[in-house]
Amino acid sequence: MMHKLIYLIGKVIALTACLALTAHAQERPNLIWIMADDLGYGDLGCYGQKVMSTPSLDRMAQEGLRFTQFYAGATVCAPSRSVLMTGQHHGRTRVRGNAGQKNPVAQALRSDDVTVAKVLQQAGYRTALIGKWGLGDVGPAESGLPRKQGFDQFYGYLSQHHAHNHFPDFLWRNETRESLPNDLVAVGEAGAGYATQPKVYADDLFADEAIKFVGENKDKPFFLYWSMVIPHANNERSNKLGDGTEVPELGQYADKPWPAQDKGQAAMVTRMDSYVGRMLAELSRLGIDRRTLVIFTSDNGPHNESRHDLKRFNPSGPLSGIKRSLTDGGIRVPCIAWQPGHIMPGSQTDHVAYFGDWMATACELSGAKLPADRDSLSFAPVLTGKPTTGKHDFLYWEFHEGGFHQAALYNGRWKGIRRGSLSAPLAVYDLQNDVAEKQDVATEVPDIAHRINEYLKTARTDSPDWQPKSPATR
């Protein structure tokens, strides 16, 4: 009798534990990070855009939370993505610039890097990267291949130069090249160039693949990193033909009395918007919208490489600068969070966060342990209107083109920028009263300037791949 009782108690304990684990798994949200490429702070209607139409993202903001002071990891793509993946700021993450084909190893993650994908994979999430990678490639940089960095599956571009071409003649599925029926006028390396008889648009394929992934994994927790290429320019096409926009159709902009470049840019942004609308509709159709957190953002500020008219679109909104600038126009990006039933519709926050915070946020939401040595604070409480556990004293960026540039944001208000070398004078801007960063107030707030200067002395760790250089030594 006693043995039978012990057996029954054991069964009850086991069943209780199983139910608890199941409940925990159900509580953990699916995570989707959707990232546009070179989309500016002012490129969406919900952030003040007046010319281009973005109804899906505007509706996403109406149904979710809009950040007003969210920052990319860097002002160009590769380091920004490295910050996102590692949860370490620009002065400590592995990849700190766009090295390209001349030095691919410098632009690749290594085997000992800890990425958010690895952390979520180990926590039981199914992980996928769809779209542009830029942190590893076949050959010398293979340590950074997506499936070596925590992704169960990958479909898209490995090389950022290849990703310039929106109508490529191949894409990668895991480590296998899949041919596409587009022709190629080759320019440069790694599949870059342009098509003269375009047939298949890469971002259309990525949207289909992303929607397929969520359908196949609707019954288990997943992390989807959907890294669009749109509206990035095809730089090679721009240099050869004078128009870097590539899009299957101009849609509502076809009859506008604008140059081709302006029509193409607007059509790319609106097409990007439609992809997001498709995804949100699919999540609702599958019945998993309430347990899926969707974040939409951009990898850095807007570009002018398609040769479109920046004055027409005002892509940086009230901010100064574009991509490759450390003023806020180059690094402050749109960010919208959406999860019906959890995020209050039509909400807005001035909480200061950046790409590196995704690591801590994903860990908190998934129940995973935050890896050591991260520059990451969770913004999960902000999503539901709760007080945050902490705020960054400083955020940090650097830039390696045309000399060495540094920037730091202190207490979410004071922006310090050093341009050209480590010995260059520090300019300080008061974002609270001068969001466009027009007036240097360094001499008016010497204590603030001193604090930022002292921080910049120790903010970065040494990297043999990314040494500060002055313009004369480059």
Reported as a pLDDT band with limits 50, 70 and 90, residue 470 is: confident
What confidence score (pLDDT) does residue 10 get? Answer: 45
Q: What is the pLDDT of residues 176-216, one digit of tens each?
A: 999 999 999 999 888 899 999 999 999 999 999 999 999 99
Q: Which residues of 161-197 are buried (b: 16+ CB within 10 A; e: fewer)?
A: bbbbbbbbbebbeeeeeeebebebeebbebbbbbbee
What confidence score (pLDDT) does residue 14 get? Answer: 38
DSSP percent split of the chain into helix, strand, coil, nearest 5: 35, 20, 45
Reported as a pLDDT band with limits 50, 70 and 90, residue 13 is: very low
Share of the chain above pLDDT 90, in %: 90
What confidence score (pLDDT) does residue 2 get? Answer: 43
Phi, psi of 156 (to 5 degrees): 155, -145
What confidence score (pLDDT) does residue 473 get? Answer: 54
Q: Among 9-18, 370-379, 395-404, which is the least confidently predicted range?
A: 9-18
In total, the chain counts a number of residues equal to 474
Burial class of residue 204 in the structure, from the number of CB atoms within 10 Å of its CB (0-12 exposed, 13-18 middle, 19+ buried): middle
Q: Give one DSSP letter per residue of 19-44, joined into a string.
A: HHHHHHHHHSPEEEEEEESS--TTSS
Q: What is the pLDDT of residues 111-145, one digit of tens each?
A: 999 999 999 999 999 999 999 999 999 999 999 99
416-442 average pLDDT score: 97
What confidence score (pLDDT) does residue 472 get? Answer: 62
What confidence score (pLDDT) does residue 8 get? Answer: 43
What confidence score (pLDDT) does residue 19 get? Answer: 33
Q: For residues 470 and 203, which has the higher predicted lDDT (pLDDT)?
A: 203
What confidence score (pLDDT) does residue 471 get? Answer: 75
Between β-strands 292-298 and 176-179, what pairing exists: parallel, antiparallel or unpaired?
unpaired
Reported as a pLDDT band with limits 50, 70 and 90, residue 4 is: very low
Domains, the chain, in order of start with CATH, read: 28-385 (3.40.720.10), 396-473 (3.30.1120)
The residues, ordered by sequence, that sit 6+ positions from 91 with a Cβ below 8 Å of its Cβ are: 396, 398, 459, 460, 461
Give the C-alpha separation, 27 to 221, whole Å.
Answer: 9
Residue 22 has pLDDT above 80, yes or no: no
Tell me the Ramachandran region of residue 461: left when phi exceeds 0, alpha when psi lies from -120 to 50, beta otherwise. Answer: beta
Q: Among 25-39, 319-333, 335-349, 407-421, which is the least confidently predicted range?
A: 25-39
Residue 297 has pLDDT above 90, yes or no: yes
Residue 24 has pLDDT above 60, yes or no: no
Share of the chain above pLDDT 70, in %: 94
Residue 3 has pLDDT above 80, yes or no: no
Kindly give the residue spans of alpha helices, DSSP state H, lying in 257-296.
260-286
H or E element that contains 125: none
Give the C-alpha separation, 369 to 367, whole Å.
Answer: 7
Give the C-alpha separation, 332 to 301, whole Å.
Answer: 7
Residue 400 has pLDDT above 70, yes or no: yes
